[in-house]
């Protein structure tokens, strides 16, 4: 009676002995896996219908500006800029784009039943959230910068209005302010998505009540809104004076943003520029740290695809 030869194990087989893992790691996780997750999230954000919807919405201010300039050429470009760039975009579009992208940082993976594949990778749960948030910030900030520039081009292209300001530099400053605002919204909605699956509904209520209502009231409660600090940054770095038909010059931001310029023209009762930037950056870091900690402690219940 002959016996079948014993099969060599992977460790014993010549040339198949397990080699030590030489992949670059830091802090117990694979940097290549982190980079792959970042690229994958970027592709997810830039493919599909979500970014197309955002593109159409972001093109709306530029299209409206072109239509108004064509039908009413006497409207000063500075007025159009304030209406579309500093009212419509930051109060309507920025919270919306942040909500649509940040609310699905982990919920999309759970609904599509792909979170399981991320959890078995050599990446801690907190790092999964942070990496996907960074990819979300990259996408939203770049989209915001691109369409803010297009809106400026639609407003100021071939404009004959005399101005002492460098419009491209003004546009760069505005892009930076909008980028900081959308980053703040993404961190808020990303943290919010860990507490409820109805993030879209709660996020819309937050944007309408806090950013839309409280942010426009001359009360201390607006100190907890993103839009208040970005408006103060814009006011302290940009000029909002416009020449009215009666010959007088008026600061558009003063009355609309509920800033008492008559009694406090230098806004001494409001935070300084550095304070505003610090508050927003620290808030983003704090919200991200809290969300990452919650992810590291949470047990995610995911569905596995049924076998055919």
For the segment 113-141, what is each residue's pLDDT rounded down to a tens digit? 777 777 777 788 898 899 999 999 999 99
Closest by CA position to 189, among listed 177, 201, 180, 179: 201
Residue 96: partners with Cβ closer than 8 Å, 6 or more residues away: 57, 207
What tens digit of pLDDT does each residue of 211-223 get?
Answer: 989 888 888 889 9
Q: Is residue 15 part of a domain?
A: no
Q: Is residue 54 part of a domain?
A: yes
Q: Identify the sign of the CA torsion 146, 147, 148, 151.
A: positive
At 307 the pLDDT is 45
Q: Is residue 9 part of a domain?
A: no
- pLDDT bin (cut points 50, 70, 90) of residue 108 is confident
At 190 the pLDDT is 94
Q: Are 54 and 97 in contact (CB under 8 A)?
A: yes
Q: Tell me the average pLDDT of the chain.
A: 83
Q: Looking at the 3D structure of the chain, how many domains does it have?
A: 1
Question: Dihedral (C-alpha) 42, 46, 50, 53: value to the nearest 10 degrees?
Answer: 140
Q: What is the C-alpha separation between 178 and 191, in angstroms, rounded?
A: 20
Q: Which of 125-134, 245-254, 259-268 has the least mean pLDDT? A: 245-254
Q: Is residue 308 part of a domain?
A: no
Q: Is residue 59 part of a domain?
A: yes
What tens digit of pLDDT does each residue of 278-298 get?
Answer: 999 999 999 999 999 998 887
At 182 the pLDDT is 97
At 220 the pLDDT is 85
Domain interval for residue 242: 27-297
What tens digit of pLDDT does each residue of 37-53 get?
Answer: 899 888 888 877 777 88
- pLDDT bin (cut points 50, 70, 90) of residue 304 is low
pTM: 0.84
Closest by CA position to 89, among listed 137, 136, 144: 144
Q: Is residue 74 part of a domain?
A: yes
């Amino acid at each position: 009676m002959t016996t079948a030869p014993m099969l060599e194990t992977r460790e014993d087989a010549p040339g198949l002995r397990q080699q030590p893992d030489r992949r670059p790691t830091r802090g117990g996780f694979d940097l290549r896996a982190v980079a792959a997750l970042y690229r994958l999230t970027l592709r997810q954000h830039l493919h599909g219908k979500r970014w197309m919807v955002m593109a159409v919405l972001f093109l709306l201010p530029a299209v409206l500006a072109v239509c108004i300039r064509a039908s009413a050429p006497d409207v000063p470009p500075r007025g159009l800029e304030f209406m579309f760039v500093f009212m419509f975009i930051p109060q309507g579009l920025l919270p919306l784009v942040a909500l649509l992208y940040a609310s699905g940082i982990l919920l999309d993976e759970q609904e599509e039943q792909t979170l399981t594949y991320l959890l078995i990778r050599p990446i801690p749960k907190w790092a999964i959230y942070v990496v996907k948030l960074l990819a979300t910030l990259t996408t939203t900030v770049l989209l915001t910068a691109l369409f803010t520039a297009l809106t400026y081009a639609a407003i100021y292209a071939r404009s004959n209005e005399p101005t002492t300001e460098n419009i491209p530099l003004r546009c760069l400053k505005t892009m930076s302010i909008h980028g900081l605002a959308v980053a703040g919204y993404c961190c808020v909605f990303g943290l919010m998505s860990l507490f409820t699956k109805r993030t879209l509904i709660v996020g819309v209520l937050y944007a309408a009540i806090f950013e839309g209502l409280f942010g426009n009231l001359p009360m201390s409660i607006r100190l907890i809104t993103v839009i208040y600090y970005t408006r103060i940054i814009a006011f302290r770095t940009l000029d909002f004076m416009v020449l009215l038909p009666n010959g007088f010059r008026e600061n558009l931001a003063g009355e609309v943003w509920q800033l008492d310029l008559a009694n406090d023209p230098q806004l001494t009762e409001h935070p300084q520029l550095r304070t505003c930037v610090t508050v927003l950056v620290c808030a983003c870091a704090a919200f991200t740290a809290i969300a990452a900690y919650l992810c590291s402690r949470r047990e995610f219940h995911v569905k596995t695809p049924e076998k055919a």
